[in-house]
Amino acid sequence: MSKGKILLVGFGPGAREHMSVRAIEAIKESDVVIGYTTYIKLVQDQLEGKTVIKKGMTEEIDRCIEAYEQAEEGKVVALISSGDIGVYGMAGPTYEVLLKSGWTPESDIEVEVVPGSTALSACASLVGAPLTHDFCSISLSDLLTPWPTISKRIEAAASSDFVVALYNPKSGRRTQQIVEAQRILLQYRKPETPVAIVKSAY
C-alpha cells in the first residue's frame, strides 16, 4: 500500500489572506479535505476536484478516524480547522486516534501540522489590543473539562495579572459560565478594565 499523509491544517482567522502559504499549498496537494461544515465553507474556492467530507460540530472523533482511514488508503488528507489547529483544535484528538490505532511517528503515514494564526492573537490585533504582556487562554466549555478546574484557572489568571482570553464563552445551553467568569475576574480587576468581545471577526 502506498504511503498516505495527514496534513493538520490551521487556516487562521477565516479570510484567505490570513492563511499561510503552507496552508494553501497543503490544501492544494491533498486528495481529501475533511472539516466541520463551517470550515469547509470558508475554503470552498480551494476545493475543486477534491473529495470533501463535511462533519458536524459533535463529530470530532469521526473526522480523525476518517482522516486516518483515508490516509491508510494512500491518500493525502487535509484535516482543516480555523485558527491554529493545535489550539483547542483537531491536532490533539487526531494524535490520540492515531496512537490508539498503533500509529507511530516512524510508521507509513506521515503527519504534518501546519500552524496558523490563532483567534487569540488575530482578534487582539484587530481590536488594537496586542498581547504585549503575559497572557493565557481559557475555554469556558465544561463539556470535557469540569467547571471547578476552569474556575480555578480563571481565578489563577485573574489574581496573577495575566491578559485573559476566553474561548467558547457562551452557547445556547451554556449561559452561566461567562457570568461566573466575570464574577471571578471582578474580584481582582477594576470594573473599568477593557474587554473586547469578538465574533466572526475576519
Residues that bind a second copy (CB under 8 A): 8, 10, 12-13, 15-22, 24-25, 84-89, 91-93, 95, 105, 113-118, 121-122, 124-126, 128, 130-139, 145, 149-150, 152-153, 155-157, 159-162
CB of 15 to a second copy, least distance (A): 8
DSSP state of 24: H
- Which CB atom, from 25 or from 31, has the smaller least distance to a second copy? 25
Look at residue 166 and give its three-state secondary structure: strand
**Spatial distance between the Cα atoms of 73 and 123, rounded to a whole number of angstroms:** 39
- Which CB atom, from 47 or from 95, has the smaller least distance to a second copy? 95
**Spatial distance between the Cα atoms of 55 and 68, rounded to a whole number of angstroms:** 15
CB of 37 to a second copy, least distance (A): 22
CB of 47 to a second copy, least distance (A): 17
Look at residue 62 and give its three-state secondary structure: helix
CB of 105 to a second copy, least distance (A): 7
- Which CB atom, from 73 or from 134, has the smaller least distance to a second copy? 134
**Spatial distance between the Cα atoms of 10 and 7, rounded to a whole number of angstroms:** 10
Question: Amino acid letter at 89?
Answer: G
Backbone φ and ψ for 55, nearest 5 degrees, come out as -130, 155
| C-alpha separations of 179 from 8, 82, 101, 176, 185 in Å | 34, 26, 41, 5, 10
- Which CB atom, from 32 or from 91, has the smaller least distance to a second copy? 91
Closest CA to 80 of 49, 114, 120, 56: 114
CB of 133 to a second copy, least distance (A): 7
| C-alpha separations of 69 from 75, 98, 142 in Å | 9, 10, 30
- Which CB atom, from 74 or from 92, has the smaller least distance to a second copy? 92
CB of 128 to a second copy, least distance (A): 7
- Which CB atom, from 160 or from 193, has the smaller least distance to a second copy? 160
